Amino acid sequence: MERYSAEPDRAAVRASDAERDEAVRTLAAHYAEGRLDQPEFNERADAALAAVTREQLRGLFTDLPQPEPVTIATRPIRRRPPLPFPPLLLAVLFALAVAAIVHGVPLFPLIPLIFILGRRRRFGRRY
């Protein structure tokens, strides 16, 4: 219990319920790792719950190593590769505009595509 060994001048301070519960959880971790047998764990857990000061809690861990900090493995965020958006879209838009003009079709269906292209450039890429 790092907290208790790090504050030797405050060892006589009374222990809180949360500190006693933390001590029992740490003892349970040592029991799960095989450092304590069942009778010794029961004895130390009872002593931890009956402890009045931090010094009494610290005495329960003198022959046990400090617990390893828990690390959580995280995966890197995978981002999609950027699309060749502007050149390809402009070429398709131009081809559609030429086809629409040649065949006498109004250009209003292309307006949403132009809006999407303009919005994408203004606000950056959204994925």
Domain boundaries, the chain: 2-61, 85-123
Q: Is the pLDDT higher at 79 or at 55?
A: 55
pLDDT of 50 over the 90 cut? yes
pLDDT of 3 over the 60 cut? no
Average pLDDT, the chain: 77
pLDDT tier at 127, thresholds 50, 70, 90? very low
pLDDT tier at 96, thresholds 50, 70, 90? confident
Q: Give the range among 9-13, 107-111, 123-127 with minimum mean pLDDT.
A: 123-127
Q: What is the mean pLDDT of residues 43-69?
A: 87
User: How far apart are alpha carbons 108 and 115 in whole angstroms?
Assistant: 11
pLDDT of 11 over the 70 cut? no
Measure the CA angle with vertex 85, ends 81 and 90; round to 5°: 170
User: How far apart are alpha carbons 54 and 71 in whole angstroms?
Assistant: 27
pLDDT tier at 39, thresholds 50, 70, 90? very high
First to last CA, the chain: 45
What CA–CA distances, in Å, run from 39 to 20, 48, 55, 58, 123? 19, 14, 22, 19, 65
User: How far apart are alpha carbons 124 and 114 in whole angstroms?
Assistant: 15
| pTM of the predicted model over 0.75 | no
